[in-house]
Amino acid sequence: MRESGRRRKEHVWDKGPLNGFLYCPDCGSKLYFSHPSRLKTSGTYLCGYYLHYKKCSTHYIRRDELEPVVLAQLRKDCAFAREHEDDFLKMVEKKTRQQGEDAFRQGEREYGEAKSRIEEIDQIINQLYEDKVSGGLSAERFSIMLTKYEEEQETLRGKCEKLQVQITAARTTSDNAKQFIRVVRKFTEMQELTPEIVATLIERVEIGQAQTIDGVKKQEIRIVYNFIGNIQE
């Protein structure tokens, strides 16, 4: 007779130190861990947008294939940062400057467009009041249209505030590369990926869709570091 109240113990899967840091570069969704069908394997990661809605691509990658690649790249980049500090600083500053200039131009353009639209809405709202006073617009219609334009204007003001922060950051030359080097010195040897190493050094890892070219499987794995962003070619 089966003992009453006893439950089968559920297996707790180790999702790996990179879980929560993996992203799809195409749709921006996180990659989610899928536990293995056999206990001897380590599981896989899949694009969340594909997993839940069957849109985007799978961006499938096995955990036991991903972690050695990320660890090897971490060792290479961190060793270069420690052993060739001046060259590393120059490289990061060059990339940061290029990326900052692109972000600055895009931010300025979007900021200008948003400000122009806010001014345009001001004129539209003034015209609405005039039409209401002259009797050309009913009170109900006036209220509906006024609410619509005020909501759009409020959204644009919030966008402008965020863009101003981004533009200011793009203008400012920071010491992020030096900060990264200071952090790297904490990890003189990296035998394996750990949650501490990942959280300290990595902002996210972007997993491309695997492709087979001339019979060879290729898959882009791009590390975006804390402080300095992506430094891979």
User: Of the candidates 131, 153, 134, which has an alpha carbon nearest to the alpha carbon of residue 143?
Assistant: 131
* DSSP class per residue in 153-206: HHHHHHHHHHHHHHHHHHH----HHHHHHHHHTT-S--SS--HHHHHHHEEEEE
Please write the tens of the pLDDT for every residue from 173-193: 456 788 888 899 888 788 999
- pLDDT tens-place string over residues 209-218: 999 999 999 9
Closest CA to 18 of 43, 38, 1: 43
Q: Kindly state the average pLDDT of the residues 1-28.
A: 78
Q: Do residues 190 and 200 touch, judged by C-beta distance below 8 A?
A: no
Name the residue ranges covered by the structural domains of the chain.
22-84+192-225, 87-171
- Mind listing the pLDDT tens digit for each residue in 55-82? 899 999 999 999 999 999 999 999 999 8
* Structure token pair of residue 18: 């990179």
Query: What b/e readout covers 38-50, taking b as 16+ CB neighbours within 10 angstroms?
Result: eeeebbbbbbbbb
Q: According to the model, what pLDDT value does residue 42 have?
A: 84
Q: 93 Cβ partners below 8 Å, 6+ apart? A: 177
Residue 84: is its pLDDT beyond 80?
Answer: yes
The answer to whether the pTM exceeds 0.85 is: no
Q: How confident is the model at residue 47 (pLDDT cuts 50, 70, 90)?
A: very high
Residue 169 has pLDDT above 70, yes or no: no
The pLDDT value given to residue 219: 96
